[in-house]
Amino acid sequence: MNNTVKKYIHQSFLGIGLLFLSTSCNDFLEETDKSNFTQNTYFTQPKHAESIVNAIYADLRSTTGGGFNGAPWMMLEFATGLANTDLGQAQNSINVRNLVNNSDNSYGGTYWTSSYKGIANANLAVAKIPGITMDESQKAKLLGEARFLRAYYYYNLVRIFGPVPLITEPVDLASKDLYPPKATEEEIYKLIVDDLVAAEAAGLPMTDKTGRVTTGAIKSLLSSVYLTMAGYPLQKGNEYFKKAADKAQEVISSNAYSLFTDYNDLHNEATENSGEHILMVQFAPFIMASGWQTSIIPYNKGISAYSDETGAIYANTDFVQTYEPGDKRAKEKEFYFNEYTLSSDRNTSVNLGGYFIYKFFDPKAQLETTSSGLNWMLMRYAEVLLNYAEAANEAFGGPSPEAYEAVNKIRRRAELPELQGLSQQEFREATWREKWHELSYENKTWFDMVRLRKAFNVKTKQFDDYVGHQFSYGPVLKERELLFPVPTAEIRNNKNLTQNTGY
């Protein structure tokens, strides 16, 4: 079995009462009769433990992608009021952008079902791997990966939907948890923290070029979780700001990660799973290709080798114009691009009429192969630095030299003057602003908006209260937009579920 997640391509998942498991990359296209596999007969060998853990990773891919119907990852970007689309048939995107979203939105349905598929496999791994006779060190590491991934899926669910069912054991048709009610957010966060603390002690390496879960990823996610718990909705305050700062500091002090000097390395296959990248979703061209390239290029401008150019998502111009003068990130083909050569004549450039997202752009696939193996970014070192700066400022009553250094590393790379001499409030908002600009369109901003109850005003460049904030193109955020609706199909199938307020 190949030792990298990129090459595993396991598509196994646990449905209610039936487990489907594939083997390795070399034979994943072969048909095999899996009807004789059961939970009791399958989990007997070390390779079975590896297989089920590999399966947990598979659903990380489910929300990425693109095409003429948009893609689930875009839901979290249109909800910020900072993204636009030229794709008229992508009604799910348009409804979120215009704040008229409803529970029939398939984006939310994909987040829900893919997360619970990943959780189902994680539950199976946690329940079954301890009984397999195998090397105890490897067993501990596999359990650590499983518990991290379960925590990651629940972290997304609780932030997107609020209270959701909390399932920690394998489920079949006879299970009492077949139709579970919602758990409280407090209960869900407790499981998340417990899983991450257990994973932290599993003996995983600090980094791993193959793309598997690492101790660095565990500590980074734990810092993010503590930071969220310090804010809304739990509002645990200073103790958790301190926990968030301490955990981020452990990542920083490890010297295992560093910022790329060139922004192009953020979307360079050669630098994946290393340097600034802490955790990525793994793809491979022509085997398990990444699918968002057609979505981030402008609508039918003739610049790409792809036949489809959907214009499914791009940055609002008024947001890009909030970057400070001279900010390298806002320059052409750094984080964004607004001109490109024509596929019919690479000596001729065309103005694209907007700011498209370059940090996800795969030049080789766009110009030549039309099959991208670019990995999807989940966590990178820049986020850890900014989380540390924000948390330390809150925990210690103002910016320390270490907090300044964390945010100034980001600013120096952007060729901006360093921050200095700020009050706690000034540093707080400067760090928030840096987050909006550095982590833009990486599925981070909406989560920050909700935990802070703040939204960035592109006209004033200040922060408004979330509820009542008006997007630059008109719609106004209401309290209901602090959560997404529970998918209609889940409400219909599970009578113990209730819909979120306002939907």
475-489 pLDDT, tens digit per residue, is 999 999 999 999 999
Q: What is the pLDDT of residue 108?
A: 98
Q: Tell me the average pLDDT across 405-416.
A: 98
Q: What is the pLDDT of residue 175?
A: 81
**What are the structure tokens assigned to 97, written together?**
């952008």
Say which residues have a Cβ less than 8 Å from residue 55's Cβ, sequence separation at least 6. 10, 11, 12, 13, 21, 121
CATH node for 1-204+473-503: 1.25.40.390
Looking at residue 29, the DSSP 8-state letter turns out to be T
Does the pLDDT of residue 59 top 50, yes or no? Answer: yes
346: three-class secondary structure by DSSP: strand
Distance CA 359, CA 371 (A): 17
Which band of pLDDT confidence, cut at 50, 70 and 90, is reported for residue 37? Answer: low
Q: Tell me the average pLDDT across 495-500.
A: 96
Looking at residue 482, the DSSP 8-state letter turns out to be G
Say which residues have a Cβ less than 8 Å from residue 403's Cβ, sequence separation at least 6. 388, 389, 392, 393, 396, 427
| pTM, two decimal places | 0.93
User: What is the CA angle 165-167-170, rounded to 5?
Assistant: 145
Q: What is the pLDDT of residue 38?
A: 66
Distance CA 300, CA 160 (A): 33
| Cβ–Cβ under 8 Å, residues 250 and 225 | no
Looking at residue 418, the DSSP 8-state letter turns out to be P
- 22-26, 143-147, 374-378, 406-410: least confidently modelled range: 22-26
Distance CA 61, CA 25 (A): 17
Which band of pLDDT confidence, cut at 50, 70 and 90, is reported for residue 31? Answer: very low
Domain ranges in the chain with CATH number 1.25.40.390:
1-204+473-503
Does the pLDDT of residue 8 top 90, yes or no? Answer: no
> Model confidence over 149-180: pLDDT tens digits?
999 999 999 999 999 999 999 988 888 778 99
**What are the structure tokens assigned to 462, written together?**
């200040």
Q: What is the pLDDT of residue 17?
A: 30
Does the pLDDT of residue 320 top 80, yes or no? Answer: yes
Distance of CA 45 to the CA centre of its chain: 32
Distance CA 389, CA 383 (A): 10
Residue with tokens 């935990």: 451
Q: What is the DSSP string of 392-403?
A: HHHHTTS--HHH
